[in-house]
Amino acid sequence: FFQAEDGIRDVAVTGVQTCALPIYLGAGLGTVSHALARTNMREVWSIERSPLLWLLLRLRSALASRPFYVWRGDLFGFPLGKVDLAYAFLSPAAMPRLLVKAAREMRPGTWLISNSFGSADWPPDRCIVLRDRRRTHLYLWRMPGQERRAGSASEAIDQND
């Protein structure tokens, strides 16, 4: 089975060529952060709001062979201007707000990836279907220049091909 964290790592390393600095927004236990930290990326960032999950995330980072940076706080207050890739596994209700934040703060050509949840108002630039038991969908938005292109075409990619 193709696990979601391996899929994110592979997308970040090979499918999103510009990625040098990823951040996991709402990192929980940091499964994706841990997977990304095992790559050749210069550093990996994570942010988590829950005190208990943040503490467990810090412990996981400290025990990792290659630690990752961990912040505690609200992801909507965290600046995204320096990251090349922002990954989130949030609720569908949070996606419109996150897309607006990413488009406003992230540099042109960087990426936002959402695990499982897209946005009806903002079609993704790509959709990748993983080979895990859930057939997880990763929605990828490439950040535009000053203004978002209206109705960007979706490109579906199935990793079974």
Write the pLDDT tens digit of every residue in 128-145.
888 888 888 999 999 987
Min mean pLDDT across 14-23, 60-69, 135-144 is at 14-23
Q: How far apart are CA 12 and CA 82, in angstroms?
A: 16
Q: Which of 116, 115, 127, 117 is nearest to 152 (CA)?
A: 127
Determine what percent of the chain falls in helix, strand and coil, rounding each to the nearest 5.
30, 20, 50
Q: Provide mean pLDDT across the span 2-30.
A: 66
pLDDT of residue 11: 57
Q: Is the model more confident about 8 or about 134?
A: 134
* Percentage of the chain exceeding pLDDT 70: 78
For the entire predicted model, the pTM comes to 0.80
What value does the CA radius of gyration of the chain take, rounded to a whole number of Å? 15
pLDDT value at position 60?
Answer: 93
pLDDT of residue 145: 73
Q: CA-CA distance, 10 to 106, in Å (whole number)?
A: 21
Query: Averaged over 11-16, what is the pLDDT?
Result: 51
Over the range 65-101, which residues count as b (16 or more CB within 10 Å of their CB) and which as e?
Answer: eebbebbeeebeebebeebbbbbbbbeeebbeebbeb
Cβ contacts of 122 within 8 Å, gap of 6 or more:
96, 99, 141, 148
Q: Do 106 and 83 touch, CB atoms closer than 8 A?
A: yes
- Per-residue confidence (pLDDT) for residue 158, from 0 to 100: 40
- The helix (run of H) or strand (run of E) holding residue 51 is helix 51-63
State mean pLDDT over 87-109. Answer: 94
- Half-sphere exposure of residue 111, counting CA atoms within 13 Å on the CB side? 24
